[in-house]
Structure 1
Amino acid sequence: AWRMPVFLPVFALFVPLIWLVRRFVSGRLQSYNENLRREIEGMNSQLGGMINMIPITRAHAVEDEEVARLENRFSNVRSAARSFDFFAGTFGATMWVALMLFNLGGFAAAAFLSYRGLVALTPGDIVLLAGYFNTIMAAVLQLNAMLPIVTRGFDGLRSIGEVLESPDIEDNRGKKSVEQVRGEFTFENVSFSYEKTDGVTPALRGLNFQVTAGETIGIVGPSGSGKSTLISLITGFHRPTSGRILLDGVDMNAIDLRTFRHRLAVVSQQTILFNGTLRENIVYGTRDVTEAELQAAINDANAMEFIRELPRGLDTELGAAGVQLSGGQRQRIAIARALLRDPRVLILDEATSALDTGSEAVVQQALERLMSGRTTFIIAHRHAVLRRANRILTLDKGALVEQASNELIAAAN
């Protein structure tokens, strides 16, 4: 009974030892793993961009340069992964050697005490103490082996948390839901600035205008004038730095913008399609779609003709990014998707700028059906699209320099 308390301080040394090692190693592992995660995220982003740029890359004959850039990114990922694995492996091996030496020291101490007669220890007692030590050592080594895995898990959770805690999601919680949308907008001295590393950059300055429900507004201006930023404010992706935007007389800062977006549709220059069937891509974002509603949307979007020519019609697999479809066909899919949503607010962002003349005419017919009776904002440079606008807003350096009816502008030209 008296032998165990003698060796209790020896076992107690494990507590501060493990705490110090864990504190030192956790910080280093987290640093290495965070670097690895950012390199992998950068690689994925660059690879996705490279795939989307394949036609342009081939047209400019810069395939070798793009491959070299990607190989350089792969090299960075490999280097970061090796650094992480080297540190984790070195730590595990060093810890094992240290514990073995500690075990050897315990045996030597027990033998010395027994030989000198300071403590009466039988061979059985020494074996028993060795068994206790081995049990503790096995638990410590298992904890050390799990530490890199736990570190990766927590770093992954932090990455997810960065998305979940973004202001757009957080600010909407608990706000008033939008049940109906008429589509009336009022901009009251609205300004917006981007925060960059070199300071604040104003994108929009003192906008004042009103849009009635069902009105079609054209937005024009040189590159960098604030057109895309204005659209981001309308969709709620950004919030005004100063001033306010009223939707049907209610400040948009006071409403749950996710419920507003159920009545919003966007047709942009680049139609996003995912790897699935054509049917799944058209009904994406809309629940409880009947076959009659789907067929009506396809007809109104002028998409029925080419869908019938597909091998399996609506059940045809499109592949990644809808590679089997032309630009005009993808735009008509986007219009059919928007028609199914039955939006009250519609945004057309250069919806026909990438199409040839023949495809533009077909898509334009579908867009006119989509725009009917809905508040519509159009960013475009082609007059064929802007001629349906009731008013045209001209932006320059973030300021609204002119707003006039389409008829007045046409007469002035």
Structure 2
Amino acid sequence: MKILSSHHTMANNKNNTSMRKMLRIASYLKPHWLLFTAGMISLLISSLAGLAFPKLLGDLVSGGKSGIGIHTTGTLLIGILIIQAAFSFLRTILFVNAAEKALATLRQTIYNHLIRLPMHFFLTRRVGELSSRISADVALLQETFTSTSAEFIRQVITVGGGLILLMTISSKLTGFMLAILPIMVIIAGVFGRFIRRFAREVQDQIASSNTVVEETLQGIFSVKAFANEYFEISRYRESTNRAARYGIIAGRYKGALSSFVILGIFGALVAVIWRGAAIGLDNGQLFSFVLYSINIGGSIGGLAEIYTSLQKSVGATENLFQLLDEPAEDITPPETIAPEHQLNGNISFSQISFHYPSREESTVLKDMSFQVSTNQKIAIVGPSGAGKSTVVSLLMRMYNPSGGHILFDSKDSNHIPLTALRSQMAVVPQDVFLFGGTIGENIAYGRQGATEAEIIEAAQKANAWEFIQRFPLGLQTIVGDRGVQLSGGQRQRIAIARAVLKEPRILILDEATSALDAESEKLVQEALDRLMEGRTSIVIAHRLATIRQADKIIVLDRGAIVEEGTHTELVNVNGGLYKNLSEMQFTQ
């Protein structure tokens, strides 16, 4: 008994959870309740009109024995059909309008939340999977909002109203008809659980296959360069085949459920007609009874299908709510920065330790402390994996340190709003990401609302205006996906122009010239030198020739500071890491 009670409690908890999820999704319809209510009224009218149809057909078959005459009955039937058609059309339009507006809000909510999630969230997620959540999962809900939920209500009205009318015709036959319903409900519930499980697996596999498509198309150059087309074809085939296998299993359960419903209902109809004829029901009454029975049987069968669709929607909501329940960063609109949050450019790392959330056992930075004064140019150097780029991520609070404090102008970084902090910084990375729009749009990304004159001035300071002018469309030139139409040096100078336009208080250069040829490096370095004037600059450098004039050089090794000083001081440290790195580069 205890085991049965436990299973019963678990089932109730699952049902309650599913109900809460559906109610949470339905809350997005709340702003559009007038449209939805009008749709419900139209649905009720069209459903009730449909219930009157078999009764009037029975009267017609009886030759108008109800006392209103054949012609009047026929006219009423035509009127009922027109009403049912009109209100069916109206309820569809109303439901679609309400649903599309609600789903637009849901998509915006998911995207707005997704873009505000912290960086550590994206360490364990793939872009294709997240994109599938916004497209495929919401598409399932679209079907539920626009048709499935309305169809569910219509079928319930048909079953309930039909049973009442059946009772008025013959209570004995109605009881006979009802004998099969409890069995149908139990089997629908059992099959529904199985179908829900496999439907969720199918969705996960579709998301996985979408990830393969997105990653391979984004990295198409690498795919072709390594001649891995057949490998990617195989990877996509395996992923889609897995989705198909789960879909086939789910289809078997759906097919078995539908077959049982058809066999049970239409078998019952034969028995009902046989029984009705035996007890001597009038032809018109028997005709009406059979029509109502068919409608009820079809509706019960439809309810099983609708229940399956609703279970799919519940599975989709689980994935969406997992995203929405992830804690987001406290981002505010980029308005005027409050005076108390204006940065002068003093930075202090105080006993900073750090490990990535996904790799807690691996410490990246250990007890790191250093100071940067306003308008100083600080360089951070060291071998690969020393922790240089991690310092950049911590400065911008992409991650929070595991221990210690980062101070800006003697204020803890946690006490400065994220938007205020990041809006006063600019990063020029080694691997520049450009959006697929125009050159002008990419530069203006540094400061939304900048005028064309300001964009051109920023491009001139970045040594980018000269090559931009050579393009026939100038600033309106499309750069292509990730800036594929431009060379590495051109992309780098657009990134610098973007940083110039932002007018940051703190500038971060993350190996900004390491991947360029000599001519491009010269142009980029000139632009960077111009950009660093009058602001605090943190330079992550691999090529030591670019940081000889730095006010201070910090040398990292295995997450710790091993040396600190100017270029002249460090090259004179016998056996020092900086001296060894310098000799290796300058003697080549």
TM-score range, shorter chain: 0.7 to 0.9
Matches within 5 A, 1:6-405: 7-51=177-221, 53=222, 58=225, 62-63=226-227, 66-110=228-272, 123-124=286-287, 125-144=289-308, 148=312, 150=313, 153-154=316-317, 157-158=320-321, 161-162=322-323, 167=327, 169-170=328-329, 179-196=341-358, 200-405=361-566
Letter in structure 2 aligned against 1:306? F
Secondary structure, counterpart of 1:194 in structure 2: coil
**1:173, distance to aligned residue in structure 2 (A):** 7.6
Change (3 A) 1:105 1:255: farther
Letter in structure 2 aligned against 1:244? H
Show structure 2 runs of 5+ residues with no match.
1-167, 574-578, 580-588
**1:259, distance to aligned residue in structure 2 (A):** 2.5
> What's the counterpart of residue 138 of structure 2?
none
Higher strand share: 1
Contact 1:34–1:155 (CA under 8 A) maintained in structure 2? no
Deviations 1:18-77 (A, max 9, x none): 3332222112211232133123224422442343x36xx64xxx32xx112211222123
Deviations 1:196-252 (A, max 9, x none): 47x511110101111112111111111111111111111111111111111222212
TM-score, structure 2 as length reference? 0.62
Change (3 A) 1:285 1:130: same
Between the two structures, name the one with larger relative contact order (CA 8 Å, sep ≥ 6). Answer: 1
Letter in structure 1 aligned against 2:350? E
| Separation in 2, partners of 1:151, 1:46 | 31
Larger Rg: 2
Contact 2:202–2:246 (CA under 8 A) maintained in structure 1? yes
Deviations 1:229-286 (A, max 9, x none): 1111111111111111112222122332232111111111111112111111111141
| Separation in 1, partners of 2:241, 2:454 | 54
Deviations 1:98-120 (A, max 9, x none): 11111133235536756887x99
| Separation in 1, partners of 2:179, 2:345 | 76
Letter in structure 1 aligned against 2:192? R
> What's the counterpart of residue 19 of structure 2?
none
Contact 2:439–2:478 (CA under 8 A) maintained in structure 1? yes
Change (3 A) 1:318 1:306: same
| Separation in 2, partners of 1:165, 1:186 | 34
Q: Which has the higher mean CA deviation after the structures are superposed, 124-133 or 327-336?
A: 124-133
| Separation in 2, partners of 1:203, 1:352 | 24
| Separation in 1, partners of 2:512, 2:425 | 16
| Separation in 2, partners of 1:392, 1:131 | 82
Change (3 A) 1:397 1:383: closer
| Separation in 2, partners of 1:340, 1:399 | 34
Deviations 1:75-101 (A, max 9, x none): 123213322432343333222211111
Give the root-mean-square deviation of aligned CA atoms.
Answer: 3.0
Letter in structure 1 aligned against 2:268? G
| Separation in 1, partners of 2:486, 2:291 | 75
| Separation in 1, partners of 2:549, 2:189 | 71
| Separation in 1, partners of 2:304, 2:256 | 13
Letter in structure 1 aligned against 2:230? A
> What's the counterpart of residue 56 of structure 2?
none
Secondary structure, counterpart of 2:293 in structure 1: helix
| Separation in 2, partners of 1:151, 1:50 | 36
Letter in structure 2 aligned against 1:331? Q
TM-score, structure 1 as length reference? 0.86
| Separation in 2, partners of 1:328, 1:227 | 23
Letter in structure 2 aligned against 1:374? R
Count of aligned pairs: 398
